[in-house]
Amino acid sequence: MNTILRWLLDLVARFVRTLDWPLLGALLALMGIGLAVLHSAGGQNLALVQSQGARYVVGLGVMWLLSRVPPAPLRRATPAFYAVSLLPLLVVLFVGTGRSGAHWINLGVFYFQPAELMKLSLPMMAAWMLAQSAPPPRPGVLLSTVAIIGVPTGLILLQPDFGTAMLVAASGVFALYLAGLSAWWFVIAGAGAATVAGLALFAPIGWFSFLRPYQQDRILTFRDPQNDPLGAGWNIIQSKIAIGSGGATGQGWGEGTQSHLNYVPEHTTDFIFAVLAEEFGWLGVATVLALYAFVIGRCLWIAAGAREPFARIVAGSFGLALSVYVVVNGGMISGLLPVVGVPMPLLSFGGTAAVSLLAGMGVVMAVGAHGQGKR
């Protein structure tokens, strides 16, 4: 009996040995909080919670599978994975659906968002290219990496989905930073991008030629939500009321009036963080932000211990990209940034985003396991 028990324990240990338990614990905590807030925001809709829970299970399965693959095979498969990820971005332009563009592909069983897949493949492809030379990257490698970032970013902008395009591009920019590119390049590129964006947004020809009506509304609303409090400004005004009414400890789980009376828009998706703030207050917000900070820090710690450039750049890029997702969504629902339709990782309802994020964490775990000599 003892022999069988030892054999079973050894079998389990072999299956989970590549998992990073501190990282997994923080991710499970975020998912648990996400399901609790979703249960409240969705009006105690158990089917909604079960649906999201099933997506988490799929994501955890993908994470576990990827954690068992050493970085070397991942690196060899990266170019093919990147090429395959570009195909749905082309297909969605012709058959995609969405309220303000072609963002989703209806697969019958579920809706698939191709841009989310690029959040996984683009950092890997950028790392693959940048690992070809010693830091800092040579001009040829640098230009190739810029093209790797630019092609999917441009395709996502055509949908149009400005928010996701910028997040995808950011993951590639982080790869450049981790590869040793001088900070001056980022300063120059940032100044150039700000100039071009300013001309496109505020020059009359740019305002009417490049921005769609809903994008114009978002910018005007960001500048002054009170200009249209019952129209374009409604979302952010109600979100800020929900955040403020939460106070230090919140109104209680399931007791948020702004979300339950349907004042907060998209309260199960993009604005779910406002529901968290209303019902759990600053204490709940601080707890979730601390968990995010731990996940990001753990990714960077694993990246710092990686043996090879590809693994280091990939793990670091996934961690830094997560920080941007959190900052953009948090800034959006609090009125500090324009509304761009970016979900809060592992809190907002949605399958593609959750699975792609957990898959990225699986790659990070693979880097950690490889660096620790695990197989």
Q: What is the pLDDT of residues 219-240, one digit of tens each?
A: 666 666 767 666 667 778 888 8
Q: For residue 337, what pLDDT is reported?
A: 83
Mean of the per-residue pLDDT values for the chain?
Answer: 85
262 backbone φψ class: left, alpha, beta (φ>0; ψ -120 to 50): left
On whether the CB atoms of residues 238 and 264 are closer than 8 A, the answer is yes
Q: For residue 7, what pLDDT is reported?
A: 59
373 backbone φψ class: left, alpha, beta (φ>0; ψ -120 to 50): left
Q: For residue 194, what pLDDT is reported?
A: 65
Residue 104: DSSP 8-state: B
* Band (18; pLDDT cuts 50, 70, 90): confident
Q: What is the pLDDT of residues 37-85, one digit of tens each?
A: 999 988 888 999 999 999 999 999 999 999 999 999 999 999 999 999 9
Cβ neighbours of residue 146 under 8 Å, at least 6 residues apart? Answer: none
- Cα distances from 135 to residues 160, 320, 342, in angstroms, run 35, 19, 33
For every residue of 196-225, DSSP letters joined together read HHHHHHHSHHHHHHH--HHHHHHHHHHH-G
Give burial (CB, 10 Å; 0-12/13-18/19+) of 139.
Answer: exposed
Q: What is the pLDDT of residues 270-300, one digit of tens each?
A: 889 999 999 999 999 999 999 999 999 999 9
H/E/C letters for each residue in 313-324?
Answer: HHHHHHHHHHHH
Poorest-pLDDT segment among 34-38, 96-100, 157-161 = 96-100
Q: For residue 350, what pLDDT is reported?
A: 83
Looking at the predicted structure, is the pLDDT value of residue 8 above 80? no
What pTM value is reported for the model? 0.90
Q: Would you state the structure tokens that stand for residue 55, as one six-digit string?
A: 């997506």
Looking at the predicted structure, is the pLDDT value of residue 315 above 90? yes
For residues 130 and 127, give the distance between their C-alpha atoms in angstroms, rounded to a whole number: 5
Q: How many residues does the chain have?
A: 375
| Closest among 234, 224, 228, 229 to 262, alpha carbons compared | 234
Q: Identify any residues that bridge with 112 across adjacent strands, giving them in sequence order.
A: 105
Q: For residue 375, what pLDDT is reported?
A: 38
Residue 97: DSSP 8-state: B
Cβ neighbours of residue 375 under 8 Å, at least 6 residues apart? Answer: 70, 369
Angle ∠(54,56,58) on CA atoms, nearest 5:
75
Poorest-pLDDT segment among 160-169, 170-179, 254-263, 324-333 = 254-263
Sign of CA dihedral 348, 82, 189, 309: positive
Q: What is the pLDDT of residues 189-207, one digit of tens each?
A: 777 666 666 665 565 555 5
Looking at the predicted structure, is the pLDDT value of residue 143 above 60? yes
Q: Would you state the structure tokens that stand for residue 230, as one six-digit string?
A: 């019952």
Q: Taking the CA of residue 85 as centre, how many other CA atoms within 13 Å lie in the half-sphere pointing to its CB?
A: 25
